[in-house]
Amino acid sequence: MSSRLLVFLIPVIVIAIFWVMAKMERGVAHDPTHKGFFERNGTVLGVTFIVLVAFWTLFLVTLPYLYMVVESFHPKLPPMQRGGPDDVLTLEQYKSFFVTPTDGTWNTNHMSAFVFSLIASVLVTAFNFAFSYPLAYYMAQAGTAQKVRLIMLGLIVPYWVNEILRAFSLRLLLASKGLINQALMGIGITSEPIDFLSIDVGLYVGLSYAYLLVMVFPLYNAIESLDKNQIEAARDLGAPWWKIHRDVVIPYAKPGIASGCTMVFMLAAGSLAAPQFLGGPSTLWFTSIVYDFFFQAFNWPRGAAYAFILLAACIAFVMMMLRLFRVSLGETIK
């Protein structure tokens, strides 16, 4: 049997193990008042639950990823040879990220795109946070209910506009003959138009804007539950506003900050459309490379391997940051 199919046994084995463990546990700690799952819900409803949950976890979540993992450890083969003698397990797809398979030189092209994507994502996250924090603080603590509703609306409504329209309108704004350059030249700040797009300003602005809500809402949630008296107490003890934020608000909102930053970073690093529409001509976003492997070169194994390299790097980076700021993973998803 092919190793590709073998992997699908894993979830079945895991389920079996849990089943056995549950059976054993029931044998050890028998509670006579306890009613079984089917007793509580009825057979029809119980079966429906199980089927739905199983379908969701297996077919929609577990299996596609497992399939991709398996794929990434195989060579690229024409459909005829799949499952044949050449279809062996291999690390060559992962290796190709570091060393170009054709000529054996360092694959600087892909590695630099990778590093650039991660650094740019960090910048986007930082920029996004710097913008979202004051906004979230205002909404959560300072603003009147009516103004907060207005801001919420202002934040949400632009999301009804589709991504392409949003990206291209931003392009129009930032282009050499765009509104901003015209205005800058009009009031005489510059004489030459600034090429915002090729220095990736469009990319940063677009990505930050795209994930603004993802940052604002966790921050808002966290700050909103802070007792106003805490802020006033700090103020009463003589703290200027920035020390109040440093010592009281930010430590309190840390889980929300971590949650927002994690999500924005992950989403930015994995985003595809905004970098393509708004990046400069020489900007190569890592996900574009992955995309090309899947849909231009039809090299699914290599695309999958690259995608997993990105995923692993993002997770590692996030874990490192959480540890650095002493936030536990559990706190960020509260």
Partner 1 sequence: MSAGVELDHVTVRFGQFTAVDDATLDIKGGEFFSFLGPSGCGKTTILRTVSGFLDPSAGKVRIGGQDMAGIGPNKRPTALIFQNLALFPLMTVSENITYGLRVRGVSRAERMKKAGELLELIALPGQGNKLVSELSGGQKQRVAIARALAVQPKVLLLDEPLSALDLKLRQHMRNELRAIQQQVGITFIYITHDQGEALTMSDRIAVMSDGVIQQVADGKTVYDNPDTPFVASFVGENNPFTGRVVSADATIAVIETAHGPLRGRNPKNLKAGDKAILFVRPESFRLGQGEAQATVAAETLSAAFEGNATHVFLKGSTKKDVTVTVARHGGNRIPAQGERAAIHYDPAMSVILPEGKLARE
Nearer to partner 1, 120 or 248 (CB): 248
Please report, as ranges, the residues that interact with partner 1 according to CB under 8 A: 227, 229-230, 232-240, 243, 247-248, 251-252
Nearer to partner 1, 180 or 226 (CB): 226
Nearer to partner 1, 252 or 317 (CB): 252
Q: Measured from the CB of residue 246, what is the shortest distance to partner 1 in angstroms?
A: 10
Q: Measured from the CB of residue 230, what is the shortest distance to partner 1 in angstroms?
A: 5
For 101-134, what is the HEC assignment?
CCCCCECHHHHHHHHHHHHHHHHHHHHHHHHHHH
Q: Measured from the CB of residue 112, what is the shortest distance to partner 1 in angstroms?
A: 41
What Rg value do the Cα atoms of the chain yield, rounded? 26
As to burial, measured by CB atoms within 10 angstroms (0-12 exposed, 13-18 middle, 19+ buried), residue 293 is buried
Residues 264 and 122 sit within 8 Å (Cβ to Cβ): no
Q: Measured from the CB of residue 227, what is the shortest distance to partner 1 in angstroms?
A: 6
Q: Measured from the CB of residue 159, what is the shortest distance to partner 1 in angstroms?
A: 34
How far is 297 from 93, CA to CA, in rounded Å? Answer: 14
Rounded (10°) CA dihedral 24, 29, 33, 35: -20
Q: CA nearest 213: which of 154, 253, 168?
A: 154
Nearer to partner 1, 178 or 255 (CB): 255
Return phi, psi of residue 106, to 5°.
-60, 140
Q: Measured from the CB of residue 247, what is the shortest distance to partner 1 in angstroms?
A: 7
Q: Measured from the CB of residue 55, what is the shortest distance to partner 1 in angstroms?
A: 43
How far is 300 from 62, CA to CA, in rounded Å? Answer: 18
Nearer to partner 1, 84 or 240 (CB): 240
Nearer to partner 1, 95 or 228 (CB): 228
According to DSSP, the residues that pair with 99 across neighbouring strands are 106
Nearer to partner 1, 101 or 251 (CB): 251
How far is 128 from 266, CA to CA, in rounded Å? Answer: 13
Could you count the other beta carbons within 10 Å of the beta carbon of residue 53? Answer: 10
Nearer to partner 1, 252 or 294 (CB): 252
Nearer to partner 1, 4 or 254 (CB): 254
* Distances in whole angstroms, Cα of residue 171 to Cα of each of 38, 189, 194: 58, 21, 13
Q: Measured from the CB of residue 225, what is the shortest distance to partner 1 in angstroms?
A: 12
How far is 323 from 317, CA to CA, in rounded Å? Answer: 10
143 φ/ψ sector (left φ>0, alpha ψ -120 to 50, else beta): beta
Q: Measured from the CB of residue 31, what is the shortest distance to partner 1 in angstroms?
A: 34
Q: Where do we find the tokens 């009031």? A: 187
Helix axes 250-269, 108-137, angle to 10 degrees: 140
